[in-house]
Amino acid sequence: MNTEIREKELQGSKIGGLVLLLVVALYIVSIPVLIFCVINEIFVGMVICIAWMALGWILLCGLKVLKPNEALVITLFGKYKGTLKGDGFFYVNPFCTAFNPAAGTHLGQSGDVVNKKQPGGIVIEGTGTSASVESFNKKISLKVMTLSNSKQKVNDVLGNPVEVAVAVMWRVNDTAKAVFNVDNFKEYLSLQCDTAVRNVVKVYPYDVTDNVDTTGDGEADDGSLRGSTELVAKRIKDEIQSKVSEAGLEIVDARITYLAYAPEIAAAMLQRQQAAAVVDARKLIVDGAVGMVELALERLNEKKTVELDEERKAAMVSNLLVVLCGNHDAQPVVNSGSLY
């Protein structure tokens, strides 16, 4: 029967300095003791000293050094013994080993630019000394880290291809779950981020659109990728968190870092936006011109400056609208012969 593994912190292990000092002192003492036993032909003492000098270094394998915000998952012959946390010089059973299947995997974030980045934000260690050192280092960072996956092309709710990139701030919350519940918690996180972005983006239109329900309540709303950035980012964060909790990870924050139409439709969408802007501007101009014409007719009627019949009023309205709504300055024609 499988039982869930929970993190347990090893206590009372910060005795690395004492153990190191003791081992070095015993090595120093064993040399004159061995000489004394050889001179006096003490066979048992000779065996003990030689055995210590040959095998005493094994105790040094239990020395572990951790910096702040680092952890080490310790196993003994395949069984989870506990996690070392906090900065200090620790000592554990020399036959214990550190376990971290994600030690050789880096994500697309700062500090990994020297490695070869693969699609999806995963960085694969190259060959050479640096790769060997990273693979040997089994420490788990407890710092808040940033995952910047590559841009994805996703269809929005209207079927328009959109390119979007998200930066996710995360950290390891439970080291035991991170290393034992999933095969590689870094690859798992990167995959879940890509999946969450696709699941959320396909619910929204790129821009505000009528008759689109983005909240799932059955009523149309004005949610959009461009206008509801904070809401979209929060939904992406919650979506990722629901998937990675079993891996012992905590999503601190998520932010959209890039959002644009795909190149194949970007030009057409730009023309559409420009046309919509022109229509809105013309509507505003016409509304203002009609108001000005109404005001002019009311003032002329109040002041009784001139009496205009319906035909002349229509001509005046037409001329004023042409002047106010035109793109170029009007060229006036002066009539000095008669009233009309």
With CA atoms as reference, report the closest residue to 173 among 233, 248, 99, 246. 248
Model confidence pLDDT, tens digit, residues 66-104: 989 899 999 999 899 989 988 889 999 899 889 888 887
As a whole number, the mean pLDDT across the chain is 79
Residue 128 in any domain: the answer is no
Q: Please write the tens of the pLDDT for every residue from 306-326.
A: 666 677 777 777 777 677 666
DSSP code at position 222: -
For residues 71 and 85, is the Cβ–Cβ distance under 8 A? yes
With respect to residue 25, please indicate whether it lies within any of the assigned structural domains: yes
What lies within 8 Å, CB to CB, of 76 at 6+ separation is 93, 95, 96, 97
Please give the tally of structural domains in the chain.
2
Cα 230 to its chain centre, rounded Å, is: 14
**Residue 195 within a domain:** no
Q: List pLDDT tens digits, range 115-147.
A: 444 445 554 444 344 444 444 678 898 999 988
Would you say residue 293 has pLDDT above 70? Answer: yes
Dist. CA 173–CA 248, nearest whole Å: 5
Find the mean pLDDT for residues 239-266.
87
Q: Does residue 16 sit within a domain? A: yes
* Residue 302 within any structural domain of the chain: yes
Please identify, among 97, 118, 145, the residue that sits at the C-terminal boundary of a domain.
97
| pLDDT level of residue 250 (50, 70, 90 thresholds) | very high
Note the pTM of the prediction, 2 decimals.
Answer: 0.70
Query: Does residue 19 belong to any structural domain of this protein?
Result: yes
Domain that includes residue 31, residue range: 1-68+86-97
